[in-house]
């Protein structure tokens, strides 16, 4: 009987300490499955599954990502660079241990919560009740609108598996956000037909729309504190309309090794990457995954 006991490795990266657990399943001297996961006091925060054929690793995927402060030992993981560091640490470990694996497959199901406060009158007219509405919106669409790329493209240089489709997607993003022709050809009424924002936002959105030469300028002109409030109800409709033929949540790839090392966050750009101070959620395949406004 072969031993399939998991191998545990402690890795310190900056102020964080992670534990990586390597579960390798083998029989008759051949590996048929391998799973590597990273965590801290919470042991399973991200994992990568490796498929084998005749004892040779043939593919890898990310079936699970979540955020929890306990994903690090000793010092709690923060909602910013800590989450990023955790993911890159596991990707680096996988590449060092299995260098023939040069692609990690995943689905981009990321969502982010946009919250708004509200007040309602109670039965006692002297008091008003305060609360918060939570609006989960697709982070991939939100990030494309305000940054020109998804969160995974920014931090992991991710791409769609279909190279032709990905090239068309990148060309479409540039055309949509940066060319005056697309914006000029879209009247405000046509914008409303596509996006279908709530009526109470129409006047405010028209001010930004009328003063912008491109859709990129339109999005950038919205102040950060107002972005969730102004786009959460319609960003999915607007972006899915324009990207329906070139963007797919499935079939994404992270190439290994990552560009410019594992902890640099990729190439520098002139546009500062933006994301609201909130947490990222991954529906279906993924669980909660938090990031900070300055680190996404």
106-147 pLDDT, tens digit per residue, is 998 888 877 665 444 455 555 555 656 677 889 899 999 999
The predicted model gives 98-111 an average pLDDT of 92
Q: What percent of the chain has pLDDT over 70?
A: 79
Q: Are residues 182 and 260 located together in one domain of the fold?
A: yes
Give the residue from 101, 116, 148 where a domain finishes.
101
In a domain? residue 48: yes
281 beta partners: 111
Q: Indicate whether 197 pLDDT > 50.
A: yes
Q: Which residue has the higher pLDDT, 276 or 239?
A: 239
Domain count, the chain: 2
Q: Are residues 28 and 154 in the same domain?
A: no
Q: What's the whole-model pTM score?
A: 0.80
Could you tell me which residue, 156 or 68, shows the higher pLDDT? Answer: 156
Q: Is residue 264 in a domain?
A: yes
The answer as to whether 283 is a domain residue is: yes
User: Could you give the residue ranges of the DSSP H alpha helices within 98-247?
Assistant: 139-147, 151-156, 163-178, 180-184, 188-195, 202-210, 215-221, 224-231, 235-243
Would you say 115 and 135 are in contact if contact means Cβ atoms under 8 Å apart? yes
Check whether residue 224 and residue 277 sit in a common domain: yes
Instruction: List the end-to-end C-alpha distance of the chain, in Å, as a whole number.
Output: 47
36 token code pair: 């590597």
User: Does residue 205 sit in helix, strand or coil?
Assistant: helix
For residue 209, the model assigns a pLDDT of 98
User: Would you call 65 exposed, middle or buried from its count of C-beta atoms within 10 A (0-12, 13-18, 19+)?
Assistant: buried
* pLDDT band, residue 292 (cuts 50/70/90): very low
Domain boundary among 73, 101, 129: 101
Q: Do residues 93 and 34 both lie within one domain? A: yes
281: containing domain: 137-291
223 in a domain, yes or no?
yes
User: Do the Cβ atoms of 138 and 108 come closer than 8 Å?
Assistant: no
Give the chain's mean pLDDT: 84
Judge whether residue 284 has pLDDT over 60.
no
Nearest-angstrom CA–CA distance, 82 and 287: 17
**Do 162 and 239 share a domain, yes or no?**
yes
Residue 26's pLDDT band, with cuts at 50, 70 and 90, is confident
142 and 257 in a single domain? The answer is yes
CA atoms within 13 A on the CB side of 281: 12
* pLDDT score of 120: 45
Residues 149 and 247 in one domain: yes
Asked if the structure places residue 127 within a domain, the reply is no
Residue 95 within a domain: yes
- Mean pLDDT for 262-276 is 46
SS3 helix, strand, coil % of the chain, rounded to 5? 35, 30, 35
**Residue 36 counted as domain residue:** yes
Residue 57 lies in a domain: yes
pLDDT of residue 117: 54
Instruction: For residues 276 and 149, state if they share a domain.
Output: yes
Residue 139 pLDDT: 87
* CA dihedral over 61, 259, 70, 42, signed as positive or negative: positive
b/e per residue, 20-49, with b = 16+ CB within 10 A? Answer: bbeebeeeeeebeebbbbbbbebeebbbbb
How many CA atoms within 13 Å lie on the side-chain side of 234? Answer: 19
CA–CA separation, 72 and 90 (whole Å)? 13
Name the helix (H) or strand (E) containing 104: strand 103-106
Residues 182 and 275 in one domain: yes
* Res. 167: pLDDT tops 80: yes
> Using CA atoms, how far apart are residues 233 and 227, in angstroms rounded to an integer?
11
The DSSP output letter for 71 is G
Residues 89 and 143 in one domain: no
Alpha-carbon radius of gyration of the chain: 22
Q: Name the DSSP class of 50.
A: E
CB atoms within 10 A of CB 244: 9
Measured CA angle at 50 (ends 48, 54), to 5 deg: 175
* Three-state secondary structure call for residue 19: strand
Do 96 and 199 lie in a common domain?
no
Residue 70: DSSP 8-state: G
Residues 187 and 277 in one domain: yes
Residue where one domain finishes, among candidates 79, 101, 123? 101
């Amino acid at each position: 009987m072969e031993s399939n006991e998991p191998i545990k490795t402690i890795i310190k990266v900056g102020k964080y300490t992670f534990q990586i657990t390597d579960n390798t399943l083998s029989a008759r001297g051949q590996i048929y499955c391998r799973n590597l996961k990273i965590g801290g006091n919470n042991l399973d925060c991200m994992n990568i599954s490796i498929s084998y054929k005749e004892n040779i690793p043939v593919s890898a995927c990310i079936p699970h990502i979540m955020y929890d402060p306990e994903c690090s030992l000793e010092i709690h993981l923060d909602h910013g660079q800590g989450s990023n560091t955790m993911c890159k640490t596991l990707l680096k470990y996988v590449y060092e241990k299995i260098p023939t694996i040069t692609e990690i497959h995943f689905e981009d199901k990321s969502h982010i919560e946009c919250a708004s406060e509200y007040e309602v009158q109670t039965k006692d007219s002297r008091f008003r009740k305060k609360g918060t509405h939570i609006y989960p919106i697709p982070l991939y669409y939100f990030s494309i609108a305000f940054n020109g790329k998804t969160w995974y493209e920014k931090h992991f240089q991710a791409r769609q598996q279909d190279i032709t489709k990905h090239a068309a997607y990148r060309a479409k993003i540039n055309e949509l956000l940066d060319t005056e022709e697309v914006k000029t050809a879209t009247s405000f009424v046509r914008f409303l037909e596509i996006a279908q924002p709530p009526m109470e936002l129409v006047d405010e959105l028209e001010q930004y729309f009328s003063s912008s030469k491109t859709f990129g300028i339109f999005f950038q002109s919205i102040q950060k504190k107002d972005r969730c409030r102004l786009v959460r109800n319609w960003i999915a409709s607007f972006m899915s309309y324009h990207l329906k033929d070139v963007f797919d949540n499935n079939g994404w790839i992270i190439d290994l090794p990552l560009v410019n090392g594992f902890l640099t966050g990729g190439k520098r750009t002139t546009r500062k990457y933006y994301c609201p101070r909130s947490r990222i959620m991954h529906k279906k395949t993924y669980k909660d995954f938090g990031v900070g406004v300055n680190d996404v």
